[in-house]
Amino acid sequence: MDAMHANPEVVTTHDVQHDGHHEHHQSFITKYIFSQDHKTIGKQFLITGMIWAIIGGLFSVLFRLQLGFPGESFPILETVFGKTWAPGGTIKPEFYYALITMHGTILVFFVLTAGLSGTFANLLIPLQIGARDMASPFLNMLSYWFFFLASVVMMSSLFIQTGPAAGGWTVYPPLSALHDASIGSELGMDLWIISIALFVISTLMGGLNYISTVLNLRTKGMSMTRLPLTIWAVFFTAMVGVLAFPVLLSGLILLFFDRNLGTSFYLSDIVVNGQIMPNEGGNAILFQHLFWFLGHPEVYIVILPTMGIVSEVISINSRKPIFGYIAMIGSLFAITTLSFLVWAHHMFVSGMNPLLGSFFVLLTLLIAVPSAIKTFNWLTTLWRGNIRFTPAMLFSIGFVSLFISGGLTGIYLGNSTLDIQLHDTMFSIAHFHLVMGVAAFFGMFSGLYHWFPKMFGRYMNPTLGYIHFWVTLIGAYLIFWPMHYEGLAGMPRRYLDKSPWVSFNQFGDLDRMISIVAIIVFAIQLMFVFNFFYSIFKGRKVTTLNPWKANTLEWTTPIKPGHGNWPGEIPEVHRWAYDYSKDGRDFIPQTEPVGANEKIEH
């Protein structure tokens, strides 16, 4: 184990370089804009992510207006979006498809990947492993700025004349490859590809940094099996990202060639708009393999960090060790590995060989086992605890509930026989919004309420936190639970008006209810955003070092840690992070040496 300890030399140089005394020499620009402090970079990811979340959320409100009230006119839409996109205050189909595409892209990539990993990996890795900063603070800064560039490019696609990409967040060719197939496949699609390419670069730089920091910069005594689960989670997340994102990038490069250089990777035998295309011999399904080779791991990139956060928050607030620490790491590892072997479950009805499909059924349902282990371990952690319901804890409990509900429907979809019926219906929308969308947001909120005092030296208002939690939890179930029934009735996803259909037009009232609830839930998120920014400046001040009575190292830093985190020596670690309620003591910080007769876990 000793070889794994942080190299003392590295630590010393860091000591000198980022000594707290340097702080006041920094200009505004180096301190807040081109900062190399992991805490500041984390906040940059967070705030950029929040802006994206508001935009992405607002888009969903807009298309829910269409879904809940098809044909109705909302004059304000014409005022805001103009006659081209919302003539007479109704949403044009082109606009609708641009909205859902951007909603998916923004939330999956910009909010729940960059916003989530970027915030918590940056904030927590150095603080919880006992390091002064990332292995390469410079690369870390670049990682944010590439994300920023990606954001600028994606944002600009919203303002061009032909509008942004509109072929769904999965951008399947030929639709996305043929300029003539859709207005969203014009310039908007090129910008989408460029933006995501920049995004991938950002993810790689961030990910490599997270991995090498966790491996190399742990403080003395912090063996791998003493790491808090948050660190394990972001560590595995980074690995998944580093291995999966390049595949998406290569797939997108080929798509870019097909679009603009006349190659035929994905195109064959196509007549679009009466125009005969010369391409022959390509295969459209190839793109789906490349996309989902990232796309499936991507959903775990989204959920793994929140699993870490939830494990940490549940343990602290139950005043109990997380149950089955090693099993928790093992299941994270199993999920990481298996997540690369299940991608084709998104393609059961693409014409894939049924025998090949059957292997993917097997592997897909296998991945439910580590998910089940994690769930049972969370439940057991609660069992016989002494639970404090901070807003963070409530969001973690909500996470577990949503993860169960959404995970179980994965078992329907993963069984190819049922997927024939359910693929690309509202059932799959319900599945992934519960298990990924809402659950990941719950994990993220949980982390924000929990670490806000560390980030800003103040608390968020808990009453607003409770309101936020209850409205969001109830709203999420009201929105997504009944949606399963629409899917069971076969209602396809991405249908903006069901009135021409005999088979799917029976859910008008339901759709209206869902839309109204969605608007309320969105409004409550704005209240959260308000609480967040208000509390940064006006929140109640933190007066103790360790407000949640937690064991991990970040609570040994000053209330407002400077660059370098600890003013003096980095503390040494003597035990794992989960000694809660042990030997009659409420909590035993990781820095406390092991007692003479004490039996230790790790």
Partner 1 sequence: MQTFFIVAILVLGFLITFQIAKTSEYVSVLRGEEKSRRQSNNINAFLLLAFLIIGLFGVYYCNETLKDKILYVSASVEGENIDTMMWITTALTGFVFIITQIALFWFAFKYRESDKRTAYYFPHHSTLEVIWTVIPAVTLTVMIGFGLYYWFKITGEAPKNAMVVEVTGSQFQWDFRYPGKDKILGKKYYKNINAATNNPLGQVWDDPANHDDIHTTGEVHIVVNKPVKFIIGAKDVIHDVGLVHFRQKMDAVPGTPTTMWFTPKYTTKQMKEITGNPDFVYEISCDQMCGKGHWSMRGVVIVETQEEFDTWMFSQKPQYYVAFPDKDPSNPAFKPDSTSAGSAAVSVGNNQAKTRQ
Q: Per CB under 8 A, which of residues 206..265 are in contact with partner 1?
A: none
Cβ-contact 247, 290 below 8 angstroms = yes
464 part of the interface to partner 1, by CB under 8 A: yes
92-112: burial string, b at 16+ Cβ within 10 Å, e else:
bebbbbbbbbbbbbbbbbbbb
Among 51, 58, 455, 467, binds partner 1 (CB under 8 A): 467
Long-range pairs for 343-346 at CB < 8 Å and ≥24 separation?
343/289, 343/292, 343/293, 343/295, 343/296, 343/297, 344/289, 344/292, 345/296, 345/413, 345/414, 345/416, 345/419, 346/288, 346/292, 346/295, 346/296
Binding of residue 405 to partner 1 (CB under 8 A): yes
Which residue type, as a one-letter code, is found at position 165?
Answer: A
What letter would DSSP give residue 276? E
- Give the nearest distance from C-beta 341 to partner 1 in angstroms: 15
Q: What angle do CA 314, 319, 325 make, to 5 degrees?
A: 60
Q: Could you say which residues in the range 516-545 bind partner 1, by CB under 8 A?
A: 523, 526-527, 530, 540
Sequence-separated (6 or more) residues with CB below 8 Å from residue 293? 244, 247, 248, 340, 343
- Where in 160-189 is the site for ligand HEM (CB under 6 A)? 170
3-state class of 275 per DSSP? strand
Residue 178 near which of ligand HEM, partner 1, Cu ion, none (CB within 5-8 Å, type-dependent): partner 1
Structure tokens at 549: 């009575």
Please tell me whether residue 433 binds Cu ion under the rule CB under 5 A: no
In angstroms, the CA 481 to CA 405 distance is 9
Instruction: Using the minimum distance from each CB to Cu ion, give the nearer residue, 114 or 344.
Output: 344
Is position 428 an interface residue for ligand HEM (rule: CB under 6 A)? yes
Is the dihedral angle over the CA atoms 10, 11, 12, 17 positive or is it negative?
Answer: positive
Question: At residue 258, what is the residue type?
Answer: D
Q: Which stretch binds partner 1 (CB under 8 A): 70-78, 144-152, 430-438, 553-561?
A: 70-78
Structure tokens at 383: 């069992």
Q: How far is the CB of 364 from ligand HEM (least distance, A)?
A: 5
Nearer of residues 186 and 419 to ligand HEM, judged by Cβ = 419
Among 143, 425, 515, 591, binds partner 1 (CB under 8 A): 425
Q: Which stretch binds ligand HEM (CB under 6 A): 142-150, 376-384, 389-397, 426-434?
A: 426-434
Binding range to partner 1, per CB under 8 A, among 107-115, 208-216, 322-330, 436-444: 322-330
DSSP alpha helix (H) spans, 415-461 = 416-422, 426-432, 439-456
Nearer Cβ to ligand HEM, position 299 or 329?
299
**# of chain residues touching ligand HEM (CB under 6 A):** 24
Residue with tokens 């906040």: 43
Task: Write the DSSP assignment of 527-569 as a string of letters.
Answer: HHHHHHHHHHHHSPBP-SS-TT---SGGGGS-SS--TTS-SSS
C-alpha of 496 from chain center: 26
Residue 358: alpha-carbon gap to chain centroid: 29
| Amino acid (one-letter) located at 149 | L
Pairing relation of β-strands 580-582 and 585-587? antiparallel
Nearer to ligand HEM, 43 or 431 (CB): 431
Radius of gyration of the chain (CA): 24
Q: Which does 432 bind (CB under 5 to 8 A by kind): Cu ion, partner 1, ligand HEM, none?
A: ligand HEM
By CB under 5 A, the count of residues binding Cu ion is 1
Which positions from 351 through 380 interact with ligand HEM, judged by CB under 6 A? 364, 367-368, 371
Strands 580-582, 271-272: parallel, antiparallel or unpaired by DSSP?
unpaired
39 near Cu ion, rule: CB under 5 A: no
Q: How far is the CB of 489 from partner 1 (least distance, A)?
A: 4
Could you say which of 394, 426, 435, 517 contacts partner 1 (CB under 8 A)? Answer: 394
Stretch near Cu ion under the rule CB under 5 A, chosen from 241-249, 295-303, 514-522, 555-563: 295-303
284 binds, among partner 1, Cu ion, ligand HEM, none (CB under 5 to 8 A by kind): partner 1
Alpha carbons 511 and 429: distance in angstroms, whole number: 14
CB of 371 to ligand HEM, least distance (A): 5
Nearer to partner 1, 416 or 565 (CB): 416
Least spacing, CB of residue 2 vs ligand HEM, in Å = 37
Cα dihedral 263→266→267→269 (10° resolution) = 140
What is the nearest approach in angstroms of partner 1 to the Cβ of residue 511? 12
- Pick the binder of Cu ion from 296, 484, 498, 575 (CB under 5 A): 296
The reply on whether position 217 binds ligand HEM by CB under 6 A is no
| Complex with Cu ion: residue 232 or 291, whichever CB lies closer | 291
Which of ligand HEM, Cu ion, partner 1, none binds 303 (CB below 5-8 Å, type-dependent)? Answer: ligand HEM
Residue with Cβ nearer partner 1 (144 or 445): 445
Instruction: Find the helix or strand (DSSP H, E) in which 104 lies.
Output: helix 93-105
Residues that bind ligand HEM (CB under 6 A): 170, 299, 302-303, 345-346, 364, 367-368, 371, 407, 410-411, 413-414, 419, 422-424, 428, 431-432, 435-436
Residues that bind Cu ion (CB under 5 A): 296
